[in-house]
Chain A
Amino acid sequence: MSYEFLVASAIGVLVAGGIFLALRARTFQVVLGLTLISYAVNLFLFASGRLVLNRPPIWDKAVSEYTDPLPQALVLTAIVITFGMTAFVVILALRSFLETGSDHVDGDRVPCDAQDGLADGLADGEGTEP
């Protein structure tokens, strides 16, 4: 077995699991699915520099062969942004659960129009405080 196979198959499995979870109805599962897809995407981006062992892109007079540093730089920020995105989605899910009392991604089939009275009132500041 080669590293290439391991990485490619891991990406495939992560994407499959991620898609399945992202299609579930509950916010937490969707967040987990997005996390798995993010791992896969980051690995894929990283792999676009091809796999190289023991040649980190730390410049040294004595070394002439390195791995491609650019995908690594891109993935490094991508990991941090992924965190930002995950955090935001988690909090959004939490707030939506607190607002509606349901953690269904579509707000438990509350029809769009039924909420309008409340939404408009709140927008005008005339909504009732508890």
Chain B
Amino acid sequence: MAIAMTLLTLALLPFAAALAIAQLHGAPRAVHSGIAGGASAAGLALLASLAAPALGGDVPFVRWDWVPSLGLDLTLMVDPLGWMFGLLILGIGLLVVIFAHSYLYENEDTGRFFASLMLFQGAMLGIVIAGNVLLLLVFWELTSLASFLLIGFWQHKAEARQGARMALAVTGGGGLALIGGMVLLGLIAGSFDLQAILARGDMVRASPLYPLMLGLILLGCFTKSAQFPFHFWLPHAMAAPTPVSVYLHSATMVKAGVFLLARLWPVLAGTELYTVTVTTVGLVTMLLGATVALFRHDLKSILAYSTISQLGMLVMLLGFSLEAAALAAVLHILNHAAFKAALFMSAGIVEHETGTRDIRRLGGLAKAMPVTAGIATLAAASMAGLPPFGGFISKELMLYQTPKLALAGLPWLLPVLATLGATFSVAYSLRFAAHLFAGRPREAGPFARAHDPSPAMWAAPALLTTLAVLLGLVPMLLAAPLVSAVTGAVTGSAPPEVELGLWHGVNLALILSMLAVAGGAVLLSRHAGLLSLWERASLPDAKRMFEITLRLADARVRKALVATHTPSLQRMLLASFAIMILLVIDGALTGGGVLTGTRPGLPANLPAVAAWALLIAATLAVVLESHNRLRALVYVSVIGLVVSLAFAVLSAPDLALTQISVEAVTVLLMLLALNLLPKKPPVISSRMRKTRDAAIAIVGGVLVGGIAWAMLTRDPGPSIAAFHLANAKPGGGGTNVVNVILVDFRAYDTLGEIIVLGIAGLGIFALLETAGTGASGARLRAWRADMPHSPERHPMMLVAASRIILPLTLAVGIYLFLRGHNQPGGGFIAALVVAIAFLVQYLAAGFDWSDARKPFGEHNLIGWGVLVAMATGLGAMALGSPFLTSWFDYFSLPLIGKFELASAMLFDTGVFLTVLGAVMLALAQLSHVATRAARAAEEAEGAP
């Protein structure tokens, strides 16, 4: 149980932090970063407590059923691979939070930043500790979304928005492929449980679906990890604030693809197809990234392409399908995380303190900012793979493995190309350090500003660089046990013996490594000449190609849409009605053809017939007078009235109450809208069109009426009514069976409905809130009253009466609410009545007066309503019952006597709050817009 709670807390902690930060939006920056850092540190502590079992082979895991019918369990597990990635995510996360605290400028929305960052942390952590591939997919998608939010954090910058969109399109598109691949994998393996899948590698590789599945999964991995030809999004993602680049685009998210390759190694690796594809893609990416990085000028762009190159190397190593290569990959993941995060932070510091990231404008900064220079130079040396740094060891291991695989039948090809890639990475690493910090300043302005930041800002990169150095000096102490355990977890076999060190004697790897260093130095010395060569070559621009592809796809989709959906609502509705009518006719013909059943009818009395006649007449009047819109509304309300009467007579008091209150609110709403809409349609349809529509309408009406008649004259089939009636009182604690069904038996439905209603209210808010801008705003300002208005805006009698009525109506609402469980009433009806009570105030005293005195915000009502309803359901779960199980008991108090308390009442409160919020939001917003328009009109008239 302790392990289960630890795992669950670990998974939920970042999300809780994100929520808390978002709630404390207005708080000072220290609160936001404090929560984020605290949560990261707490997560680290939890992870540390799991170290012994996770690395010792006794993998902590916990499983709850979630949707068992889909094979989706909530399974969390921390094996060595997950533990190592968790360490990176939380450790670097903590450092990034510390760094970002100083990095973000004044007046930035730190609440949004840290909330998004923690959302990402939770998603990423979810990927690495998910024990079910479907769960992993959920988190996978969440990282794409969080990355979108973070890249586009500076919303006012076009490149940030474009970069965010591009990243989402590429990684999200890859995510779609991954979903297909993972589902196929689960179907082939016969389980979606990760541990079960990993045990069935032979079965998966033998399946005829293996190539398809592999292709889809690799698409997901390659897009996420920016592998060629999907690498182009990563440089554009650099529009994000630097802490985001550190965290997502070097240390964690882009490694998700690498992680997944490692995770699924026992299932995917080993086949010819896998080895050739993955190795080639990795190799090409490594070469391409390293080459481009050498010729970039933006510091972050250099680092982005170098990240692409390093990710290519990791993918290539995993593609070898050799244990020793996997070991090299694991070690390099650690190394890369350390030096690349440090380098990104250094780049961020340079930008922060000089105002530019263009390496052509900088130089000689070692004098102005010695601490930053020291940190970045050491990290760059590790990236270059120079001894005695960590990067040297993993690069040696990589080069040592290359001769073991013959690409295209040529055993020398891989070592030569890998050495070439290494040469370029030496060159760009050295350039980064040398052009930035050595030599003389190229421009005076940035240099004059430059200075070392406060220790709070360089502490994080300094720590990371120290790690990068120590990984080279004492690898056996620092990394060997972890690397061994993780490699075992990747390959799915016993942890191998690990021998890490700087000196292994003179061997091929050392010779290649020395060649690379020498070559890199030569490349750097010839950089200027190479650069002009590079700039003269016309190279394809990935961003342009991406945009052209998008535009083509967009045009195609538009064409297809226009071809399949004629862009006319009228025609589409006509087709829908016609098809429905044909279906009904078809059903009637095959059904036996007897219209009237045998059930005896209830004889109707005279008032009922009169009401019926009123309804028919009102319907006809609505149709015939629909061009006089105000009058049509009056007729509609007559129909609503008759319908509520029908409910009242036909044993449905709850429905009658609901219908009549909804009626009042609907008519108010339509009146408000009509105030701004044109009162009369300018053109009336042609006679022919009307005749055609009338024919369809009459056929439809006769058919539906016929179905209703056929149904009403037959006895119902077996019903579950008896169950509801028998269990309402003993099981649900209420005698109003309809209400008990709503808040207990079918409370899940109700929960869904109030959420839908809340969304509708918020949607209306979104539509009206922005109505004051653009073309819409201009029309609102040009609006003129086109109906005679009362000279008295707020008639005294109405105002006085409405204020007296308010407490009375509220009392009625509360009464209806309280008795709802046992007598007609309940949350829905009470909310409508209370809403009407408030709306009458708006009507009588105007929007401004009422809105200023309103004690609640509608958004909060909706939010709290849904939360209360959900919390009630979760409360039942916490007590060990299924979601939304209700509880009730009887108590007695002196004076008051015996009374009942039921959890259903709490749920009904949630219903009440949401419905009240949604109704008020819709009407108050509309009345607000109308008020604004009227005021603008008055001002225009007052000042001719």
Given A81-B756, A81-B757, A98-B676, residue A13 in contact with residue B705 (CB < 8 A): yes
Chain B 602-640 against A: per-residue CB contact (8 Å), 1 yes, 0 no?
111000110010011001101100100100100010011
Instruction: Judge whether A24 and B725 touch: CB under 8 Å.
Output: no
Instruction: Judge whether A56 and B750 touch: CB under 8 Å.
Output: no
SS class, residues of chain B in contact with chain A: helix
A-chain residues with CB within 8 Å of residue B926 when the two chains form the complex: 91, 94
Instruction: Judge whether B604 and A3 touch: CB under 8 Å.
Output: yes
A-B contact pairs, 30 of them (CB 8 A): A1-B609, A8-B706, A11-B704, A12-B706, A13-B705, A14-B619, A15-B704, A18-B697, A19-B693, A25-B685, A28-B677, A35-B666, A44-B708, A47-B711, A48-B716, A49-B716, A59-B736, A60-B735, A70-B720, A73-B738, A77-B753, A79-B655, A83-B919, A92-B767, A98-B776, A99-B774, A100-B775, A103-B681, A112-B567, A129-B774
Instruction: Judge whether A112 and B652 touch: CB under 8 Å.
Output: no
Q: How far is the CA of A91 from the CA of B776 in the complex (A)?
A: 13
Given A83-B666, A88-B760, residue A20 in contact with residue B639 (CB < 8 A): no
Instruction: Judge whether A72 and B764 touch: CB under 8 Å.
Output: no
B-chain residues with CB within 8 Å of residue A95 when the two chains form the complex: 767-768, 771, 776
- B-facing residues in A1-32 (Cβ within 8 Å): 1-32
Q: Residue of A at shortest CB range from B735?
A: A59
Q: How far is the CA of A106 from the CA of B567 in the complex (A)?
A: 7
Instruction: Judge whether B708 and A70 touch: CB under 8 Å.
Output: no
Given A3-B608, A28-B674, A84-B757, residue A51 in contact with residue B650 (CB < 8 A): yes
Given A16-B698, A124-B158, residue A76 in contact with residue B761 (CB < 8 A): no
Q: How far is the CA of A23 from the CA of B654 in the complex (A)?
A: 33
B-chain residues with CB within 8 Å of residue A40 when the two chains form the complex: 704
A-chain residues with CB within 8 Å of residue B822 when the two chains form the complex: 58
Question: Quick one: which of A19, A52, A105 contacts B570, CB cutoff 8 A?
Answer: A105
A-chain residues with CB within 8 Å of residue B749 when the two chains form the complex: 74, 77
B450 adjacent to chain A (CB < 8 Å) = no
**What's the minimum C-beta distance from A100 to chain B, rounded to whole angstroms?**
8
- B-facing residues in A62-115 (Cβ within 8 Å): 66-70, 72-77, 79-88, 90-95, 97-101, 103, 105-106, 112-113
**What's the minimum C-beta distance from B19 to chain A, rounded to whole angstroms?**
27
Given A48-B711, A106-B568, residue A68 in contact with residue B719 (CB < 8 A): yes
What would 11 more interface pairs be, CB under 8 Å, given A9-B709, A90-B673, A113-B558? A6-B609, A19-B693, A19-B697, A32-B622, A32-B632, A69-B724, A69-B737, A87-B760, A97-B678, A124-B158, A126-B158
Which listed segment binds A: B253-261, B657-665, B806-814? B657-665
B-chain residues with CB within 8 Å of residue A35 when the two chains form the complex: 636, 666
- A-facing residues in B789-829 (Cβ within 8 Å): 822-824, 828
Q: How far is the CA of A23 from the CA of B712 in the complex (A)?
A: 29
Question: Quick one: which of B685, B736, B777 contacts A24, CB cutoff 8 A?
Answer: B685
**What's the minimum C-beta distance from A99 to chain B, rounded to whole angstroms?**
5
A-chain residues with CB within 8 Å of residue B780 when the two chains form the complex: 98
Instruction: Judge whether A21 and B612 touch: CB under 8 Å.
Output: no
Q: Residue of A at shortest CB range from B730?
A: A59
Given A13-B619, A59-B729, A97-B678, residue A4 in contact with residue B709 (CB < 8 A): yes
Which listed segment binds A: B239-247, B441-449, B462-470, B641-649? B641-649
B71 adjacent to chain A (CB < 8 Å) = no
Instruction: Judge whether A21 and B622 touch: CB under 8 Å.
Output: yes
Q: How far is the CA of A11 from the CA of B658 in the complex (A)?
A: 19
A-chain residues with CB within 8 Å of residue B603 when the two chains form the complex: 1-3
**What's the minimum C-beta distance from A15 to chain B, rounded to whole angstroms?**
4
- A-facing residues in B822-858 (Cβ within 8 Å): 822-824, 828, 832
**What's the minimum C-beta distance from B219 to chain A, rounded to whole angstroms?**
27
Instruction: Judge whether B702 and A112 touch: CB under 8 Å.
Output: no
Binding site for B on A (CB under 8 A): 1-32, 35-36, 39-40, 42-44, 46-60, 66-70, 72-77, 79-88, 90-95, 97-101, 103, 105-106, 112-113, 124-127, 129-130
Instruction: Judge whether B701 and A15 touch: CB under 8 Å.
Output: yes
B918 adjacent to chain A (CB < 8 Å) = yes
Given A11-B705, A73-B741, A91-B922, residue A23 in contact with residue B721 (CB < 8 A): no
Given A40-B704, A83-B662, A95-B767, residue A72 in contact with residue B738 (CB < 8 A): yes
Q: Residue of B at shortest CB range from A69?
A: B737
Q: How far is the CA of A17 from the CA of B713 in the complex (A)?
A: 24
Question: Quick one: which of B562, B662, B705, B828 contacts A15, CB cutoff 8 A?
Answer: B705
B700 adjacent to chain A (CB < 8 Å) = yes
Instruction: Judge whether B922 and A130 touch: CB under 8 Å.
Output: no
Q: How far is the CA of A60 from the CA of B693 in the complex (A)?
A: 50
Instruction: Judge whether A72 and B654 touch: CB under 8 Å.
Output: yes
B459 adjacent to chain A (CB < 8 Å) = no
**B residues contacting the other copy or chain, number (CB 8 A):** 119
Given A57-B738, A86-B666, residue A76 in contact with residue B828 (CB < 8 A): yes
B479 adjacent to chain A (CB < 8 Å) = no
Question: Quick one: which of A12, A66, A84, A97 contacts B701, CB cutoff 8 A?
Answer: A12
A-chain residues with CB within 8 Å of residue B677 when the two chains form the complex: 27-28, 93-94, 97, 103
B696 adjacent to chain A (CB < 8 Å) = yes
B694 adjacent to chain A (CB < 8 Å) = yes
Question: Quick one: which of B562, B652, B659, B708 contacts A67, CB cutoff 8 A?
Answer: B652
B746 adjacent to chain A (CB < 8 Å) = yes
Q: How far is the CA of A1 from the CA of B123 in the complex (A)?
A: 65
Instruction: Judge whether A51 and B570 touch: CB under 8 Å.
Output: no
B593 adjacent to chain A (CB < 8 Å) = no
- A-facing residues in B666-704 (Cβ within 8 Å): 666, 669-670, 673-674, 676-678, 681, 683, 685, 693-694, 696-698, 700-702, 704
A-chain residues with CB within 8 Å of residue B746 when the two chains form the complex: 73
Instruction: Judge whether B704 and A80 touch: CB under 8 Å.
Output: no
B601 adjacent to chain A (CB < 8 Å) = yes
Instruction: Judge whether B636 and A106 touch: CB under 8 Å.
Output: no
**What's the minimum C-beta distance from A84 to chain B, rounded to whole angstroms?**
4
Question: Quick one: which of A46, A69, A70 contacts B647, CB cutoff 8 A?
Answer: A46
B728 adjacent to chain A (CB < 8 Å) = yes
B573 adjacent to chain A (CB < 8 Å) = yes
B211 adjacent to chain A (CB < 8 Å) = no
**What's the minimum C-beta distance from A62 to chain B, rounded to whole angstroms?**
12
Q: Residue of B at shortest CB range from A67?
A: B651
B-chain residues with CB within 8 Å of residue A98 when the two chains form the complex: 676, 771, 775-776, 779-780
B-chain residues with CB within 8 Å of residue A2 when the two chains form the complex: 601-604
Instruction: Judge whether A81 and B702 touch: CB under 8 Å.
Output: no
Instruction: Judge whether B760 and A85 touch: CB under 8 Å.
Output: yes
Of B632, B700, B725, B763, chain A has the most CB atoms within 10 Å of the CB of B725
B-chain residues with CB within 8 Å of residue A26 when the two chains form the complex: 681
**What's the minimum C-beta distance from B915 to chain A, rounded to whole angstroms?**
6
Given A21-B622, A25-B570, A95-B776, residue A16 in contact with residue B702 (CB < 8 A): yes
A-chain residues with CB within 8 Å of residue B608 when the two chains form the complex: 3, 6
B539 adjacent to chain A (CB < 8 Å) = no
Closest 3 CB pairs of A and B: A12-B705, A16-B701, A2-B601
Instruction: Judge whether A3 and B922 touch: CB under 8 Å.
Output: no
Q: How far is the CA of A13 from the CA of B623 in the complex (A)?
A: 11
Question: Quick one: which of B623, B681, B712, B915 contacts A20, CB cutoff 8 A?
Answer: B623
Q: How far is the CA of A29 from the CA of B568 in the complex (A)?
A: 16
Q: How far is the CA of A4 from the CA of B828 in the complex (A)?
A: 28
A-chain residues with CB within 8 Å of residue B636 when the two chains form the complex: 32, 35-36
**What's the minimum C-beta distance from A59 to chain B, rounded to whole angstroms?**
4
Instruction: Judge whether A13 and B712 touch: CB under 8 Å.
Output: no
**What's the minimum C-beta distance from A73 to chain B, rounded to whole angstroms?**
4
